[in-house]
Amino acid sequence: MEIKPLIPFHPDFLEAIKLNQSIESELLINALESDSCLSIRVNKSKKINIFNNNKVVPWCGHGFYLEQRPIFTNDPLLHAGCYYVQEASSMFLSHVFNELKLNEKKINVLDLCAAPGGKSTLILDHILPESLLVSNEVIKTRATILRENITKWGLPNVAITNNDPEDFKKIPHFFDVIVIDAPCSGEGMFRKDKATRNEWTPQNVTLCAARQKRILNDCLASLKPGGYIIYSTCTFNEKENIENVQYFQSQFDLKTVEMPLNKSWGIVATAKGCFQFYPHLLQGEGFFCAILQKNITDKITTYQPKVKNKYDFVSKNNIEILKHWLKTENMDFLQINQHIHALPQANSQDIFLVMSKLYCIHAGVLVGELKNSQLIPSHDLAISTLILPSIQKIDLSKSQSLDYLKKNDNMSEFPLEKLEKGWFLNTYEGQNLGFSKKIDSRINNYYPKEWRILKNL
């Protein structure tokens, strides 16, 4: 029985699918009319076990499928950064990083088209603390969302930038890996978001393919010889996938890299180093990924520009104050416009370089402000992995947690008599949600206004 979609496919899309002999077109079209699967990925640094009984995403050991869609906004653990709602196919990046052994040495990674942050948070879980992730988004409003999601992940070895790909030419031979999840025609999302079918046109496919070529061309100079490009799209279209990979190889000094697969996963290897995900063959949406390596033919530039230090390091006396709040060992503390940022010493010089050459909107963990020898802590510190477990805290019920996340100041149910005057952490199931402050007989809620839950649940 033929399925008649509520939102029809563009006839040129159907024709292209049918002409592609590597696609079982009827099975694919039927799959695009079925229900999409739902998956999440757990934050490895914030250990939770509530998903341990769920089915694991085969190519990502800390990804899990959900049988039913919960109200995620109603789960305090999501706001605490304990997990990320991510499409299963895009978690293939986990397998790639593991196979390339990118967690075995100090590296610099660029996530070039990073918002809203799924791949960036995954990368942070797959690199050493000494490594650096530069997470970039060219659209300013999307960069704000990116910052929120990375902040919730809680790790300090990251800088967030808001730059066009060509700006990365300013730091040649800087990155060991560049991840390009390129803007595309979105055919792989036709099941998950049926409204995207209305946006598909042959002209848009051509436009996307050209944009993808420009993106790679603009950023390639910042990749070290021997470094890797991990190129992906969420489309089936060969113009944006295999044909672009062939173009990259013909125009640039790149070669594709083999990647072992488990046959039971259902992923199709369309060419050496190229992988296509079809929703009728696996639990996931449409996705394409290619792994390329830059040949070691040009001389590596040791890039050490003379940069004037525009920022002040926090004094030793003030670091003693910070020791009451967070782990300070092997960290540098930078003061920018009265705000203190904690940066890992292992990559702080690389972060300084990024800050000097690019438009950097965030780096490390924002600790807070020092006033009159007292720290006014930031929300970033509260949900970071740097905060000390000895900070005063109170574990909330779910309803209390949601009141806090809505930024309600009515804390009448709280056992105020058990709290000392001053700052304390609100927690849910042992996970930090953010700061409040006890002042005499009242409590002030310091959850960020721009992050608060607005819906009445």
| 299 occurs within a structural domain | no
What is the per-residue pLDDT for 303?
A: 54
Residue pLDDT, tens place only, 192-249: 999 899 999 999 999 999 999 999 999 999 999 999 999 999 999 999 999 999 999 9
Indicate whether 1 pLDDT > 50. Answer: no
Residue pLDDT, tens place only, 70-110: 999 999 999 999 999 999 999 999 999 999 999 999 999 99
| 374 occurs within a structural domain | no
Binned at pLDDT 50, 70 and 90, residue 296 comes out as confident
What is the per-residue pLDDT for 337?
A: 82
Residue pLDDT, tens place only, 128-138: 999 999 999 99
Residue pLDDT, tens place only, 423-450: 999 999 999 999 999 988 888 999 999 9
What distance in Å separates the CA atoms of residue 252 and residue 139, rounded to the nearest whole number?
Answer: 27
CB atoms within 10 A of CB 176: 21
What distance in Å separates the CA atoms of residue 67 and residue 128, rounded to the nearest whole number?
Answer: 33
Residue pLDDT, tens place only, 146-204: 999 999 999 999 999 999 999 999 999 999 999 999 999 999 999 999 989 999 999 99
Indicate whether 266 pLDDT > 80. Answer: yes
Full 3-state SS string of 240-302: CCHHHHHHHHHHCCEEECCCCCCHHHCCEEEECCEEEECCCCCCCCCEEEEEEEECCCCCCCC
Beta bridge partners of 290: 231, 274
Q: 114 burial class (0-12, 13-18, 19+ CB within 10 angstroms)?
A: buried
Three-class SS state of 385: coil
| 207 occurs within a structural domain | yes
- Are the CB atoms for 125 and 175 separated by under 8 Å? no
- Are the CB atoms for 454 and 445 separated by under 8 Å? no
What is the per-residue pLDDT for 410?
A: 65
What distance in Å separates the CA atoms of residue 6 and residue 411, rounded to the nearest whole number?
Answer: 48
What is the per-residue pLDDT for 301?
A: 57
Q: Which amino acid is it at 406?
A: K
Question: In this structure, are 265 and 395 located in the same domain?
Answer: no
What distance in Å separates the CA atoms of residue 144 and residue 40, rounded to the nearest whole number?
Answer: 22
Question: In this structure, are 398 and 284 located in the same domain?
Answer: no
Number of domains in the chain: 2
Which tokens in the block code for residue 62?
């800390």
CATH of the domain at 421: 3.10.450.720
Beta bridge partners of 375: 370
Q: How far, CA to CA in Å, does 395 sit from each of 197, 250, 353, 387, 427?
A: 46, 58, 41, 16, 5
Indicate whether 340 pLDDT > 50. Answer: yes
What is the per-residue pLDDT for 215?
A: 98
Q: Which of 135, 159, 168 is nearest to 343 (CA)?
A: 159
| 325 occurs within a structural domain | no
What distance in Å separates the CA atoms of residue 89 and residue 316, rounded to the nearest whole number?
Answer: 47
Q: Which domain holds residue 107?
A: 11-294
| 350 occurs within a structural domain | no
Question: In this structure, are 264 and 118 located in the same domain?
Answer: yes
168 alpha carbon, distance to own chain's centre: 19
Question: In this structure, are 395 and 290 located in the same domain?
Answer: no
Question: In this structure, are 15 and 161 located in the same domain?
Answer: yes
Question: In this structure, are 240 and 103 located in the same domain?
Answer: yes
Question: In this structure, are 278 and 133 located in the same domain?
Answer: yes
Global pTM exceeds 0.75: yes
Q: Which of 244, 276, 294 is the last residue of a domain?
A: 294
CATH of the domain at 156: 3.40.50.150
What distance in Å separates the CA atoms of residue 439 and residue 453, rounded to the nearest whole number?
Answer: 24
Question: In this structure, are 157 and 15 located in the same domain?
Answer: yes
- Are the CB atoms for 122 and 86 separated by under 8 Å? yes
Q: Which amino acid is it at 300?
A: I
Indicate whether 457 pLDDT > 60. Answer: no
Question: In this structure, are 161 and 276 located in the same domain?
Answer: yes
Residue pLDDT, tens place only, 374-390: 999 999 999 999 999 99
* Mean pLDDT estimate for the chain: 93
| 25 occurs within a structural domain | yes
Q: What is the DSSP string of 343-377?
A: EETTTHHHHHHHHHHS-EEEESEEEEEEETTEEEE
Query: What is the helix (H) or strand (E) element at residue 180, kind and residue range?
Result: strand 175-181
Long-range contacts of 137-144 (CB under 8 A, 24+ apart): 137/113, 137/161, 137/162, 138/113, 138/162, 138/163, 138/164, 138/165, 139/115, 142/115, 142/116, 143/115, 143/361
| 106 occurs within a structural domain | yes
- Are the CB atoms for 253 and 306 separated by under 8 Å? no
Indicate whether 308 pLDDT > 70. Answer: no
For residue 100, what are the contacts with CB-CB under 8 A and spacing of at least 6? 177, 228, 257, 291
What is the per-residue pLDDT for 200?
A: 96
What distance in Å separates the CA atoms of residue 45 and residue 418, rounded to the nearest whole number?
Answer: 29
Q: How far, CA to CA in Å, does 81 sit from each of 43, 62, 385?
A: 7, 14, 11
What is the per-residue pLDDT for 20?
A: 86
Q: Which of 253, 274, 294 is the last residue of a domain?
A: 294
Three-class SS state of 100: coil
| 330 occurs within a structural domain | no
Q: Which of 294, 327, 346 is the last residue of a domain?
A: 294
What spatial distance separates the first Cα and last Cα of the chain, rounded to whole Å? Answer: 40
Q: Which of 238, 258, 246, 244 is nearest to 17 (CA)?
A: 238
